[in-house]
Every structure is written in structure tokens, then in C-alpha cells.
Amino acid sequence: MADGLRADRRDRTPWWRALGRRFVALEHELETSLRPWLWLTGVVFVGWLSLVFASMPDWGGDPFNDRAFDAAAWRAADGGARDCPRGEMVASLALGELRSGRPRAELIAVLGPPDDNDGPRLCSWRIGWWSGLRVDQDALELHFDPDGGLVHWAVAQR
């Protein structure tokens, strides 16, 4: 009976040899088959796609409605900063301050001097890099009629 146990132990392949044989078989399959390369390409693509989605800020959300409008904070903010707090106040600003027909002078009193004054009918304030892939800078543009009343506002990429 003892000889039978020894024979069983001798017939078993050590784990390192089995692993080596599997590696050699995999190496041979990689040299002769396209399937492992397709699998590897798929894994790399899924990893890349995961990184792209993970790097997107607030995926699917609206970056312009995260903060209540505060006139003092708006005027103090640096519109050229990437994460300028002005961008997060745009929706709140639109609900409370940007009413059609409101005079240009009143809006400038609330928002402070525009960053870009493109004549009497268009003023814009830089609000940071918030929309899309955050590649282009955003600006709040206010369009006025010839009498100085607000006609239209928009967030534009520059």
C-alpha cells in the first residue's frame, strides 16, 4: 500500500512545471493564432475607455447649476481661472437676474465690468472651462437691443 501512495505522488506534475507548460502553450498560441491578440486589444480598449469616462467631470450633469448666484463672489472671481466659480452660478444667475428687457447698466452694476466689451450690443464675462471636454474657455454673453435692454443671453465657448 505504501508503494501505491509513492506512485501517485510521482505521477503528479509539480505546479511550477504545469505553469511552465501552460506558458509555453500560450506562447505557441500567440505565435499561431489571432484570437489572443483580439482579446488583448479588447482589454486595452476597455481600459482606455474607462480612463476616458473616469476623466470626464460630472459625466452627464450640468456644470452650470452647482452654486447659487452671489454678486460679490461673481465680481471677485478670476474669469480666466479653469475652475472659475462663475461657471457654476450661471443657471442661478439666469433665473434671478437675466430677465428680458433688463437695462444694460443694471446688469453691469450686478455683474461688474464685462471682461470683453464688444460694443454697446454685446458684453461677455469669462466663466472658466466648464462645458464639453473642458478644452475651450466658456463665456457668458449678453446681447442687448439698440435701447440697451437685454434681448438674449448664451454660454459660448471661445
Of 69, 154, 145, the residue nearest 104 (C-alpha): 145
pTM above 0.85?
no
66 vs 58: CA distance, rounded Å: 11
> What residues make up the domain containing 72?
63-157
The CATH number given to whatever domain includes residue 91 is 3.30.1450.10
Q: What is the pLDDT of residues 79-107, one digit of tens each?
A: 888 888 998 899 889 888 899 999 999 99
Could you give phi then psi for residue 128, rounded to 5 degrees?
95, -170
CB-based contact 63:105 (threshold 8 Å): no
Judgement on whether residues 38 and 104 belong to the same structural domain of the protein: no
Q: What is the pLDDT of residues 24-40, one digit of tens each?
A: 887 777 777 777 778 88
> 137 by DSSP, 3-state: which?
coil
Which pLDDT score is estimated for 122? 92
Looking at the 3D structure of the chain, how many domains does it have? 2
pLDDT at 7 over 90: no
Judgement on whether residues 90 and 144 belong to the same structural domain of the protein: yes
132 vs 153: CA distance, rounded Å: 19
Judgement on whether residues 99 and 36 belong to the same structural domain of the protein: no
Judgement on whether residues 44 and 89 belong to the same structural domain of the protein: no
Judgement on whether residues 19 and 39 belong to the same structural domain of the protein: yes
First to last CA, the chain: 86
Judgement on whether residues 46 and 69 belong to the same structural domain of the protein: no
State mean pLDDT over 14-19. 87
**Three cell numbers, residue 90:** 450661471
In terms of pLDDT, which residue wins out, 44 or 3? 44
Which pLDDT score is estimated for 39? 81
Q: What is the pLDDT of residues 41-54, one digit of tens each?
A: 889 999 888 877 76
In terms of pLDDT, which residue wins out, 130 or 127? 127
Looking at this protein, which amino acid is placed at residue 10?
A: R
> What DSSP designation does 78 have?
-
In terms of pLDDT, which residue wins out, 152 or 35? 152
pLDDT at 59 over 60: no
Question: Average per-residue pLDDT in the chain?
Answer: 83
